[in-house]
Structure 1
Amino acid sequence: MKLVCTSRRRYLAACIVAAAALPFVTLVHAQLPSSSRPLVMRVAYPAGGPADVAARKIQLPLQAALGKPVIIENLPGAGGSIAANNVLHATPDGQTLLVTTGNDMILSPLALAQVKYKPEQYRLLATILPTDFTLVTSANHAFPSVDALIERARRSDQKELTIGSWGYGSAPYLVGADFSASTNARVMDVPYKGAAPVIQALLSREIDLAFVPLAPNVLELIRTGKINAIGVANTKRNPYLPQLPTLSEGKYLKNFVYSAWAAVFVPASAPEPVVAALHKNLAEITGSSDFQGFLKDSAALPVEPMTPAQSAAFYQAEIDKFRRIAKAVKLEPQ
């Protein structure tokens, strides 16, 4: 049974029925403190995108666990900051959650002058769609290794290579900037309005390179030879491309690790009992065989549920890493 709850007025009763009709869901014994309000998850991207799909995958199991409706609302725009600000200023009772990527959560305040929130004003509840950034090239390049690509990009007598991103301050922009700074590779950023235009630019050979999350469409393009994969930004090889080296296996890059990860956040002002209950519920849902199967179908990495302390430590480490790299590449809010 599949029911998407997107409207507060139309679906309250229907959502309760849907939750009750899910015998395959193991209910989590971590109820929220009594509240008449439905739980709202505000997604920072349009409906149908990867983060939105992942949010809808946890929607009904979370309803069943909480015993009340969970509503999804899409508030896209401004690098995820529209939804982030909206959730931050909602009633501070923990009944309004944010679904966004950790990358946008951390980078938008560093790159966009109009964004005033700080990542520390939110707590990470669960990661729901982690995937490796992968360095790919258009099909007219056939570099045998990342070292060969770097050596070509360093040559001043050769045309500068172009690298696609989805705009100044985006995660691919920062990953590309760190790649260039770490290796002295000469690359010129070419901004596009999202991942899909970057992929199209690679297919039409408008650009030479890009760092892209290893989504199913990217995986298929690599396997069919329509784009070429150079390596994954991790210290471990990706399970979907086990023969593809990591970028850290070359001689010029070490510990070059970047991932794209969608996640569920709650404002740090939310009551501690609510945060604890939500964290426990989401850990059981994301650790279930059903959700792990969804991740596999999405070419995402397995999710290992974390304790609240582990979530906080992981989130802070990501904040520190991106701030350090943003400073190194002289990223300034614009």
Structure 2
Amino acid sequence: MKTSNQATGRLVGWIIAVAALQPFGAAEAQAPSTKPVVLRVAYPAGGPADVAARKIQVPLQSALGQTVIVENLPGAGGSIAAANVLNASPDGQTLLVTTGNDMILSPLAMSQVKYKPENYRLLATILPTDFTLVTSAEHAFANVDELIEHSRKAGSKEMTVGSWGYGSAPYLVAADFGASTGARLMDVPYKGAAPVVQALLSREIDMAFVPLAPNVLELVRTGKIKAIGVANTKRNPFLAQVPTLSEGKYLKNFVYSAWAAVFIPAAVPPSAAARLSKDLAEIVKGDEFQRFLRDSAALPVEPMTLAQADAFYRQEIEKFRRIAKLVKLEPQ
């Protein structure tokens, strides 16, 4: 028995000694990760951001050499998915797909949201589109100046403007429009873009700022709603005949876009962030993804480096915080 115990002891000691000679972490370096990368989408399946996420899913999987899955976690202005991703391990394996507008505005408008936009890092925009001022077909405004002058006229009623709720991007865009021009507007909240468009068609509201999407484009082209102007400094290629709002005499540099994007927690190591940024840049500039953007009536995506994405994100945060302060937006 003693001889057996001694032999066992020598064997265990030999195993420990051999293991000690191996470079630390060699096993981990050799074994490929089996953990899937998750694209957590802040909206229901089938929406524009979800479709864009699924367009990058397969090419991202090829670039990373790992399984990539898409999971939808909608609700509360994107804040449920955002909080979930922030609480995940900051290893670059869990990514957030949401709109930059909701990422920035939800903490400003909802008291239950405890994170800040700076807790996240922008990797890539994947579905940018211009906000467009549209009116119901009954209005005969030839341009934005006529709309503003009608609204400011003594004795005229406030113009009703649809949004998808207090603190949403359309709410803030309309508030900035009113503050900048003196137009008298009354917000009418709905539960999303589709009900706002339906309210325009049924003439329940006078106007709205909506992202230019294929359904909106078709309604404008068929005369069922009217496009007054685009919130950009250059005309939208899908509505080349429609002037920008900045072409009028009351507004200058009035620029607002809706942009779905991919984010990660700011705590993710820079090396992992840089790898993801580079892979996504290659994907979005590819012919297939650019074709998807054209089919979606979206603007072309210009790939950004991580530093460029950081600068753009900071600029958008500052812009929306400025407007929120101007209109006295308070968390509710």
Work out the CA distance in 2 between the residues paired with 1:133 and 1:69. Answer: 35
- Match for residue 125 of structure 2? 127
- Match for residue 155 of structure 2? 157
Does the 8 Å CA contact 2:137/2:224 hold for their aligned counterparts? yes
Per-residue CA deviation, residues 61-111 of structure 1 (Å, 9 max, x unaligned), is 001111110011000000000000000000111100000000000000000
Q: Are 1:289 and 2:287 matched, yes or no?
A: yes
Work out the CA distance in 1 between the residues paired with 2:150 and 2:248. Answer: 14
Q: Are 1:70 and 2:64 matched, yes or no?
A: no
Q: Are 1:146 and 2:144 matched, yes or no?
A: yes
Work out the CA distance in 1 between the residues paired with 2:304 and 2:318. Answer: 19
- Match for residue 60 of structure 1? 58
Letter in 1 for 2:122: L
Alpha-carbon deviation of 1:35? Answer: 3.0
Work out the CA distance in 1 between the residues paired with 2:134 and 2:235. Answer: 15
Alpha-carbon deviation of 1:243? Answer: 1.0
Q: Percent identity?
A: 79
Per-residue CA deviation, residues 32-64 of structure 1 (Å, 9 max, x unaligned), is x95331100100000000000000000000011
TM-score by length of 2: 0.90
TM-score by length of 1: 0.90
Work out the CA distance in 1 between the residues paired with 2:330 and 2:170. Answer: 16
Q: Are 1:211 and 2:197 matched, yes or no?
A: no
Which structure 2 residues correspond to residues 191-206 of structure 1 after superposition, within 5 A?
Answer: 191-206=189-204
Which structure 2 residues correspond to residues 1-334 of structure 1 after superposition, within 5 A?
Answer: 35-334=33-332
Secondary structure of 1:300's aligned partner: coil
Alpha-carbon deviation of 1:273? Answer: 1.5
- Match for residue 29 of structure 1? none
Alpha-carbon deviation of 1:142? Answer: 1.3
Per-residue CA deviation, residues 250-286 of structure 1 (Å, 9 max, x unaligned), is 0000000000000000001011211111000000000
Query: Looking at CA atoms only, which structure, 1 or 2, has the larger radius of gyration?
Result: 2
Does the 8 Å CA contact 2:127/2:299 hold for their aligned counterparts? yes
Secondary structure of 1:265's aligned partner: strand
Letter in 2 for 1:297: D
Work out the CA distance in 1 between the residues paired with 2:33 and 2:61. Answer: 14
Work out the CA distance in 1 between the residues paired with 2:301 and 2:32. Answer: 30
Work out the CA distance in 2 between the residues paired with 1:296 and 1:36. Answer: 35
Letter in 2 for 1:280: K
Work out the CA distance in 2 between the residues paired with 1:142 and 1:300. Answer: 27
Q: Which segments of 5 or more consecutive residues in structure 1 lack a partner in the other structure?
A: 1-32
Letter in 2 for 1:296: R
Work out the CA distance in 2 between the residues paired with 1:280 and 1:50. Answer: 23
Letter in 2 for 1:333: P
Work out the CA distance in 2 between the residues paired with 1:280 and 1:35. Answer: 20
Alpha-carbon deviation of 1:238? Answer: 0.2
Higher helix share: 2
Letter in 2 for 1:331: L
Work out the CA distance in 2 between the residues paired with 1:35 and 1:85. Answer: 25
Secondary structure of 1:130's aligned partner: strand
Letter in 1 for 2:47: G
**Runs ≥4 residues deviating over 6 A:** none
Aligned residues: 302
Secondary structure of 1:240's aligned partner: helix
